[in-house]
Chain A
Amino acid sequence: MAKDGIGASVLRKEDRRFTTGQGTYTDDVNRPGQLHAVFVRSPHAHATIKSVDLTAARAMPGVVAIHTGEELAEGGINNLICGWGITSKDGTPMKMGPYPPLAIGKVRFVGQPVLAVVAESRGQAEDAAHAVEVDYDILPSVTRLADALNPDAPAVHHFEADGAVWEHGQPPKNLIFDWELGDAKATDQAFAKAKHVVKIDVVNNRTVPSAMEARAVVAEYASAGEHFTLWNTTQNPHLLRVVLSAFINVAPEHKLRIIAPDVGGGFGSKIFTYSEEVVCLWSAKATGRPVKWASSRSEAFLTDAHGRDHITTAEMAFDENHKMLGLKVDTIANLGAYMSLFASLIPTYLYGPLLSGQYAIPAIHCNVRAVYTNTVPVDAVRGAGRPEATYVLERLIETAARELGVDRAELRRKNFVRTFPYQTPVLWQYDSGDYDGLLDSVLAKADWNGFPARKAESAKRGKLRGIGLSCYIEACGVAPSSAVGGALGCGVGMWEMAEIKVNPVGTVEVFVGTLGHGQGHETTYAQIAADRFGIPIDSISVIEGDTDKVQQGMGSYGSRTAGNGTSAVSKALDKVEAKAKKIAAHLLEASEDDIKIEDGNFVIAGTDKKLTLTEVALAAYAFHKLPTDIEPGLDEKAYFDPVNLTYPAGAFVCEVEVDPATGTTEIVNFTAVDDFGNVINPMIVEGQVHGGVIHGIGQALLEEVVYDPDSGQLMTGSYNDYCMPRADNLPTNFELAFQVTPSPSNPLGVKGCGEAGAIGAPPAIINAITDAIGTNDLQMPATAEKVWRALQGVSAKNAA
């Protein structure tokens, strides 16, 4: 293995750029003659646009254009789309309300783009945007998930009026789909013979993705070639290009270059196609000048797709030996006012199939009703469906252990999946894992058995100490394309592509269709190539995020880079290696089978005859000594279409101290043991777990989007009101460890790690708090006041 190869904690190549202020983000891109777009956004949650008066705004200094929804529609620009079709259990397709890039006729959430003002400077565009007069007729709105299906709730979309035809009669208004997974009959039968049934109601709180870099767009149009260039904060430039061209029709695919420069985080929010990309491309052509839009943080709160927002009732059936017999889950999911690009996928195929967790549950049935509300669209945020599923299951099991009076760890252990592959009753087939190993390891590392003594010590200081457990399963890289594109409704294939170019001097360029936005791809991919050829990572460059350089790709989200991106790179390396060996064999006058790579050299096994990669590469291009059956060049491309998803798993123990006087929770110990298969760079993976767990702490304790139920205004529209975790919210002791069971589904045996923390942490934390306070009646986020109120409830009950 090269010293920089697979398994080494190599320092991140990209951090020299990021830590010295030399990163180039979309907002750092400035083009000659550039104009600035500012969006006039809806101040109302639900309103009819009666009239628009642009007279004053058009006369403002510097104003070049003001774009309207009607103008775009007349120009052939189509609506934004949701790319994953879900079918209701009655056979009807999901109801996709029309989502024009700029509102036409109606607005349906606060912040929805209505008009775009384009001016010479941003200040001028802002001033003019304030001078635009839009006259609204305010309509009643519904923002709370719990109210969306009420018969008297206002309808967010009127499908009859919008021309949709319902062959099966009119479903309840605001219902997008009513979907099910699993065998309802078998599950009912399991419950019928159950000895114990445990039930919970849980809320999965709505969150804001909060990437450090807000979204931004620079669009440019070259009229001579009718060619567009789009710089954009995107997690998936190629998919964006397909959507913008084939579906939205704003630019043809072969004349649209998309560049994602450095991207400062996304957590899912930069997967989707937003109005601003469409409008800036349109404007660049209309004005003949480059157009920039950069989101303010306030706009980010109002427009970046939010996450989670579920209400769920779940029941589990056990036999007399506490073996799980069945699981029933009934969920309502808020998708906001319009369906974002993957909105329908998140509460369906990224949710239901995860409900088996680490357990052998013979029968599972899951029903999900997705609804419209007058809120920002909801789509994937770190984990996307998997945190929601894990939260339901792990709170349910913890509750069961308490109600059955059995040890929490033992109840889990009794029901673990132990043989692989394991076919769950909800689609996925787990390919590998060792759940006993994870649990044993985390209990030992967290000193689970020493907890009573620590609890007693806390009590002496007036604190309530609790301990909670969570055993999670993750599913990364939705696959294979043949399955997801057919029965599951995906509009695209979920493969990945890589190209390896060995230059004539022996340096290597790795082109790959994923898109690092903070995860250290430039280092991780370089380690894989370094490992293969035994060369230092400094002689390897990794290129992502430019559709002119990287030929195809599917981007980075859902922890798919590890399983799919590295596999594509690995396959391309196989091809390069094979050709290089063929060339080396010819030059060394040996058989290809005898050529081995050792310490960066191509050697004839058992001899001292060798060539460096540089010598082989030079021969491939300076094509003097090679026979005609070898093509010049050392440059190979590969697609990887996974045969299965990967299934990372882990076990987390959280230990908290609650101050009963104020309800404040302090996380005193957090122990995470994860199985991500083979680990390419342990330091980077630890960083991902730290970040993921902290994301989970945010959701469990602090973060919550609140809309005013009457006005529909976003109450948590800044970090003064929306609480992100900070350094003092982190665990006092934070211990990580890895267990390795390689994935059999990809060449490197890797599984993916980016979302695990956010998936496993929330139930571990809430299970710890409910253990501390002695009541299960607690919903996220467990703010100090909520915990204090729960404690008041316990006191009142004890007094009664």
Chain B
Amino acid sequence: MHETRYHRPSSLDEAAKILSASADGRYLSGGQTLIPTMKHRLAEPTDLIDLTRLAELKGISESGGALTIGAATTHAEVASSDAVRKAIPALAALAGKIGDPAVRHKGTIGGSIANNDPGADYPAAALGLGATIHTSKRAIAADDFFKGMFTTALEDGEIVTKVSFPIPTKAAYEKFHNAASRYALTGVFVAVTKGGDVRVAVTGAGASGVFRAGGIEAALSSTFAADAIGGVAIDSSDLLSDIHGSADYRANLIKVMAERAVAAIA
């Protein structure tokens, strides 16, 4: 296996310095995608810079109507956090159903959002709740952050430090998992903001990663009920089609999962 140097910096500054000094360094924040990729020799970084021990990236707090979660917080920590369960129970539930127990104890919210896997759950929550992604350089609205499959607004060397979720009036997440990988084949996050807006974010189904389902948002804005969704047309031409599910099937799942999410909170 390719030789890789492992680093455990004690500050963001140090992490950035190590990265810029390395020939081909990569940040490591749980490694649930990067390590398997390295095992297959599809990535061979010279240096791995572990961000998960940085105090600056830890912690869960609530203030000003928003719940803020440090980027190095594991899925298991989010799932079991009393603060998250109280403020946004749908987010705690989502975290508790990511992958399997091993994944949940290693994977982090920052790693998940920065990786933006098209089947990951957190991007749906971030987009659905209208979160703000804080980085080592700036704050980015979720609507501007996710730029397509495995692509984000992050620049080279920019680190996600925390994610701030506005606490909604109500929210729910429904996932239809890929039977094999247990990633979301289609996951739908539905939220009603304190301002009364309905936001619906879809993961797993989009050919360009997570996206907002405008048609469903419009239908729910006029009537917030599961049966308001039935008449919405979903354009399957923008959806993924692979051995695990055709675009047509994913289009169906978007509506069914949205209906179930709405039914849970309507």
Contacts and interface: CB of A to CB of B under 8 A. Distances in A.
Contact of A783 (B2, B179, B181, B253): B179
A723 B245 CA distance: 13
Contacts of B244: 721
Chain A, interface size: which category?
20 to 34
A662 B243 contact: no
B179 A702 contact: yes
B249 A788 contact: yes
A719 interface: yes
Contacts of A123: 1
Interface string B181-206: 10000000000000000000000000
B252 A723 contact: no
A127 B256 CA distance: 48
A785 B259 CA distance: 18
Contacts of A784: 176, 179
Interface string B163-189: 000000000000010011100000000
A720 B243 contact: no
Contacts of A716: 243
A715 B179 CA distance: 15
Nearest to A719: B180
Contacts of B180: 702, 719-724
B41 interface: yes
Among B179, B181, B244, B259, residue most surrounded by chain A Cβ atoms (within 10 Å)? B179
A352 B112 CA distance: 52
Nearest to B256: A661
A276 to B, nearest CB: 20
A720 B178 CA distance: 9
Interface string B224-244: 000000000000000000011
A443 B40 CA distance: 50
Contacts of B249: 785, 788-789
Interface in A661-676: 661-662
B252 A788 contact: yes
B260 to A, nearest CB: 8
Nearest to B246: A785
Contacts of A193: none
A721 B180 CA distance: 6
A15 interface: no
Nearest to B180: A723
A661 B176 CA distance: 11
A784 B245 CA distance: 9
A126 interface: yes
Contact of A662 (B40, B41, B176, B246): B176
A80 B261 CA distance: 57
Interface string A710-745: 000001100111111000000000000000000000
B181 A662 contact: no
Contact of A130 (B41, B243, B252, B256): B41
B213 to A, nearest CB: 17
Interface string B1-35: 11000000000000000000000000000000000
A706 interface: yes
B250 to A, nearest CB: 9
Nearest to A123: B1
B41 A785 contact: no
Nearest to A781: B179
Nearest to A664: B176
Contacts of A702: 179-180
Nearest to A783: B179
Contacts of B181: 719-721
B257 to A, nearest CB: 9
A662 B1 contact: no
Contacts of A662: 176, 252-253, 256
A123 to B, nearest CB: 5
Interface string B47-82: 000000000000000000000000000000000000
Contacts of B243: 706, 715-716, 721
A238 B245 CA distance: 46
Contacts of A723: 179-180
A627 B15 CA distance: 88
Nearest to A708: B243
A789 B40 CA distance: 35
A702 B253 CA distance: 19
A85 to B, nearest CB: 37
B229 to A, nearest CB: 12
Interface in A116-142: 123, 126-127, 130
A670 B188 CA distance: 33
Nearest to A729: B179
Interface string B141-182: 000000000000000000000000000000000001001110
Nearest to A725: B179
Contacts of A721: 180-181, 243-244
Given A662-B256, A721-B244, A126 B1 contact: yes
A720 B37 CA distance: 13
Nearest to B1: A123
Contacts of B176: 662, 784
A26 B259 CA distance: 52
A784 to B, nearest CB: 7
A126 B245 CA distance: 35
A719 B253 CA distance: 23
A667 to B, nearest CB: 14
A724 to B, nearest CB: 8
B184 to A, nearest CB: 13
Contacts of A715: 243
Nearest to A661: B256
Contacts of B252: 661-662, 788
Contacts of B259: 661
Nearest to B40: A298
Contacts of B41: 130
A600 B244 CA distance: 60
B196 to A, nearest CB: 29
Contacts of A706: 243
B245 A785 contact: yes
B119 to A, nearest CB: 10
Given A706-B243, A784-B176, 17 more contacts: A123-B1, A127-B1, A661-B252, A661-B259, A662-B252, A702-B180, A716-B243, A720-B180, A720-B181, A721-B180, A721-B181, A721-B244, A723-B180, A724-B180, A783-B179, A785-B246, A788-B249
26 contacts: A123-B1, A127-B1, A127-B2, A130-B41, A661-B252, A661-B259, A662-B252, A662-B253, A662-B256, A702-B179, A706-B243, A716-B243, A719-B180, A721-B181, A721-B243, A721-B244, A722-B180, A723-B179, A723-B180, A724-B180, A783-B179, A784-B176, A784-B179, A785-B245, A788-B252, A789-B249
Interface of B: 1-2, 40-41, 176, 179-181, 243-246, 249, 252-253, 256, 259
Give me the 8 closest cross-chain CB pairs, A-B, nearest first. Answer: A723-B180, A720-B181, A785-B249, A661-B256, A723-B179, A706-B243, A123-B1, A715-B243
